[in-house]
Chain A
Amino acid sequence: ETGVTQSPTHLIKTRGQQVTLRCSSQSGHNTVSWYQQALGQGPQFIFQYYREEENGRGNFPPRFSGLQFPNYSSELNVNALELDDSALYLCATSDGTSGGAGEQFFGPGTRLTVL
């Protein structure tokens, strides 16, 4: 059974650019959530996808968007990058039980730096 993987590990972008982060789901998991963790803070929920549909969203602007593919892998896209978008981006997958609140398995994260 493979765990949750994320790519790339690190990324440096400049303000105004666009970025795509990727997440491969753990085997058997059909639900993926994305989080932003700024330095010294707790993870902030961006959104969740369940079977390719957005299932919930936190307080993030529309320039944060996502996709989930038929194999349940996922992408997080951020447009018009701002300096405050610099953070660790985590994805977490689960098997969709308990209304999406089942145990989540987290990936190691992608560290995004916006200059």
Chain B
Amino acid sequence: AQSVTQPDIHITVSEGASLELRCNYSYGATPYLFWYVQSPGQGLQLLLKYFSGDTLVQGIKGFEAEFKRSQSSFNLRKPSVHWSDAAEYFCAVAITSGTYKYIFGTGTRLKVLA
């Protein structure tokens, strides 16, 4: 069955430090891949997406993600975290063969220390 795994439930980093959030998926082919951010009281916002082509994708707010087919991973990175990045981050895949299906991971809650 298709699935998305975010192994880190919580991550704490200091402001200015680098960040990497992990995401692994299980699917027989390459799905469409996404990262979303959800802040308290805010809706889900798309950070970036991968459909095909260059495996390093740039997103909003200084985030980037790298697709690694051999590891079925799509990890999110940011070189220097800001306090305003504290939020919940969700990795998601869209599977469009046959009927459409969209699968989210369980999320990683990011805490930023001043």
Contacts and interface: CB of A to CB of B under 8 A. Distances in A.
How many chain B residues sit at the interface, stated as a range, is 20 to 34
Interface stretch (A11-19, A40-48, A61-69, A71-79): A40-48
A100 B43 contact: no
A87 interface: no
A43 B96 contact: no
Nearest to B36: A106
A91 B89 CA distance: 18
A98 B32 contact: yes
A112 interface: no
B96 A42 contact: no
Contact of A99 (B44, B92, B96, B105): B96
B101 A108 contact: no
Interface string B38-58: 000011111001010000000
Contacts of B46: 103-104
B44 A98 contact: no
Contacts of A48: 100, 102
B74 interface: no
A23 interface: no
Contact of B51 (A41, A43, A98): A98
30 contacts: A35-B104, A41-B106, A42-B4, A42-B90, A42-B92, A42-B105, A42-B106, A45-B103, A45-B104, A55-B99, A55-B100, A56-B101, A56-B102, A58-B101, A90-B43, A98-B51, A98-B94, A99-B96, A100-B94, A100-B100, A101-B94, A101-B96, A103-B49, A104-B46, A106-B43, A106-B44, A106-B45, A107-B43, A108-B42, A109-B43
